Amino acid sequence: MSVLSLKPVAPYQAKEGEEYMNPQQLSHFRRVLNDIKAGLGEDIDRAVHTMQDEATVFADPNDRATQESDISLELRNRDRERKLIKKIDEMVAKIDSGDYGYCDNCGIEIGLGRLEARPTATQ
């Protein structure tokens, strides 16, 4: 299952007069972040198994070059996903500390719409 194919969590519907980053909102974004992280973990596991299963030594230099190129691309993708997992862990820590949803530079509210679109936003 690709992260892109995950069934998205329904966007949070703020109620009029509701406090920004109240417990319900924090719980919602924690669930969103954890769902993304779980999907990434599945993708990484699947990629590792695929790379192990397809580990073949080709005699033809062109086939070998193609395989090495494919592996290189796969490793770059996995590294990108590893960095995203780290960012997700940082965001969950911000939820725990009460700092989630606020700009790292100036401290103003990032906004629910932006966080729905990019839950790891810091500005």
Whether 86 maps to a domain, the answer reads yes
Which CATH number covers residue 64?
1.20.120.910
Tell me, yes or no, whether 5 lies in a domain: no
Please give the torsion angle defined by the CA atoms of residues 42, 46, 52 and 57, in that order, rounded to the nearest 10 degrees: -140
The answer to whether the beta carbons of residues 101 and 20 sit under 8 Å apart is: yes
Q: Which residues contact 21 (CB under 8 A, 6 or more apart)?
A: 98, 100, 101, 102, 109
The reply to whether 32 falls in a domain is yes
- Residue 15 resides in a domain: no
Please give the residue range of the domain that contains residue 108: 21-117
The count of structural domains within the chain is: 1
In a domain, 13, yes or no: no
pLDDT digits (tens), the chain, 123 positions: 444 445 678 899 889 999 999 999 999 999 999 999 998 988 777 777 777 666 677 788 888 888 888 888 888 988 999 999 999 999 999 999 999 999 999 999 999 999 999 999 999
Q: What pTM did the predictor assign? A: 0.77
